[in-house]
Structure 1
């Protein structure tokens, strides 16, 4: 197995937990992996993962400028080697990635197929490169104990997918995307991946003038049914996940939010086969709170995993910031814990450095801060649940319904009709229900106190 000639992060030691009083910027203040919270360790609750694409495949370039980051395996970066063989570069990148993840102490990573292997001159050659790099990844995983949270296919970056993959008007492009997904699913299965994610980056449209929406949705439904069939054919036991996003790169995405995805899954008979991978920044773009999307997924029975990041309410695009708001993440973790926590999923840091953060250790600073944010949010959410006051107040607010099953349950022996309720109300002149305070401010103050005292 090829590795880098010297450590890429040679000046960084393994990141340790030092506690809230520590001033060491390269230590955890809140994430204590072995600490028991509500019967499980922090590591078991949070299931942290590092993404391959932003952390190692991206060079800091954007639509206005070239790459700024120190990525010698990437010829486009400011330190890139233009003479390096593409497969050697991929192996150098992978060695650096596993060095980082191991020193950080994250138990998982995730990748797109194009993140870990260079393209070839044909699909066959591309698959050969990918298979070679999967062998390389298996060796690193065996050596370090790091596991694969999920694999996924990039069927949106190449120009061939400019009109979509599964929803493309050309069936040959549908076939190409299907072959690419099948190959990546096989690799994810081989590496013991806990999930396989489907993000339809261009499964949407720009204008209805050239789009047959009904036809495209049916194509997407058929594609996903084929994915499910393949999962069972190869014996993959992980979960299949769709990642909702409302816009960008297309103006209208078919997987707008969790509720939209759930309706789609029901329509195409997939609601028992596919769950969701919720990205915090995507929730923001859809006009929802992160915890709303989690609660919707839990209620619908399709909660799977989380891309833990953050956006900016003032900017209408996907920023992939490292999460910093303990309040925002506490509310999200509260809904995750209420739903029973993660099974196959986890907290994947779909995050990237800012273009000016060009030192190698900046990648550690970003992840350490994010992991501490999520750990402190876990502590606060667990404190809220164990205290029980917020849940007691919420239950009490709906207590009147406990005695009104004749309204709620249409099969109840005493079930009432709309006309019967009308007759009851109009026949009782003393019937005058009064509003009751929702106590929102008091509940928000309770959350703030739990965050403040979480230790």
Structure 2
């Protein structure tokens, strides 16, 4: 169980390191950075954004779910997402930091909101991997683990955009992990098929989402792992509302893919 918890730290490391090490937020996100202390706190980080609700596919409200209905049951389980694993990992990370006195070893700085870096001053990272490495794709990683007797110690986190960069579809990588008993977590993002850049875009292709949801269903789920959107806004998206619309689109795409996958598997 301890190994599993430590493994989950790596799956959630970006989020966990931010939540554990960052100073408490003292002003809302849309304040333009003008808040100076806790006296400016308004009670909500996004006070102008309403609670995101499910309104169904006919809704024209961009700040609502069209396909993701948290309370709806599909194959006997509610679609409701959970932060249970992340919460547990954060507590473990706090314990380890206290014991070892080691702060997070890695983090990412969000520079795209700054006018200096928004346009071309900071370029995207090039195609990765740029040369052979032992986690090039799911098959390579599986055989590395098998070779060194670690096949029963780890699961794989499949990132859809990296699958494309290694010359595969996301569905191919998920199936490779699944048939080897290694499917553990999914970075459900996408990239541009015609470039060699790790663009980390939100998934909006329902067809692609349908295919990899079929892998998840055939795997009988991916617990205790889960889905991580692992995506960011484009540089020119500066409105706070854009952040929510992007995440809603990603969630809805996954939910619609799940609905489609259930229908396809029922037919077959």
TM-score of the superposed pair, with normalisation by structure 1: 0.42
Query: Which protein is richer in helix relative to its size?
Result: 1
Shift of 1:257: 0.3
Say whether the 8 Å CA contact 1:9–1:361 is kept in structure 2: no
Match of 1:187 among 93, 114, 120: 93
The residue aligned with 2:241 is: 361
Q: CA offsets, 1:240-261, max 9 Å, x none?
A: xxxxxxx626533321000000
Q: What is the count of residue pairs matched by the alignment?
A: 204
The residue aligned with 1:312 is: 192
Q: Quick one: structure 1 residues 289 and 3, their matched pair in 2 at CA, closer, same or farther if it must change by over 3 Å?
A: closer
Structure possessing the higher relative contact order (Cα contacts under 8 Å, 6 or more residues apart): 2
Match of 1:10 among 40, 47, 69: 47
The residue aligned with 2:77 is: 40
Q: Does 1:345 align with 2:251?
A: no
The residue aligned with 1:295 is: 175
The residue aligned with 2:10 is: none
The residue aligned with 2:60 is: 23
Q: Does 1:148 align with 2:86?
A: yes
Counterparts of residues 93-242 of structure 1 (less than 5 Å): 107-108=82-83, 147-148=85-86, 186-187=92-93
Q: CA offsets, 1:247-295, max 9 Å, x none?
A: 6265333210000000100111110001100000011011111111111
Q: Unpaired runs of 5+ in structure 1?
A: 48-106, 109-145, 152-183, 192-199, 201-246, 389-455
Say whether the 8 Å CA contact 1:333–1:377 is kept in structure 2: yes
Say whether the 8 Å CA contact 2:205–2:253 is kept in structure 1: yes
Q: Which runs of 4+ in 1 moved over 4 A?
A: 188-191
CA distance in 1 between partners of 2:177 and 2:214 (Å): 14
Q: Quick one: structure 1 residues 378 and 190, their matched pair in 2 at CA, closer, same or farther if it must change by over 3 Å?
A: farther
TM-score of the superposed pair, with normalisation by structure 2: 0.70
Match of 1:327 among 207, 225, 247: 207
Shift of 1:386: 1.6
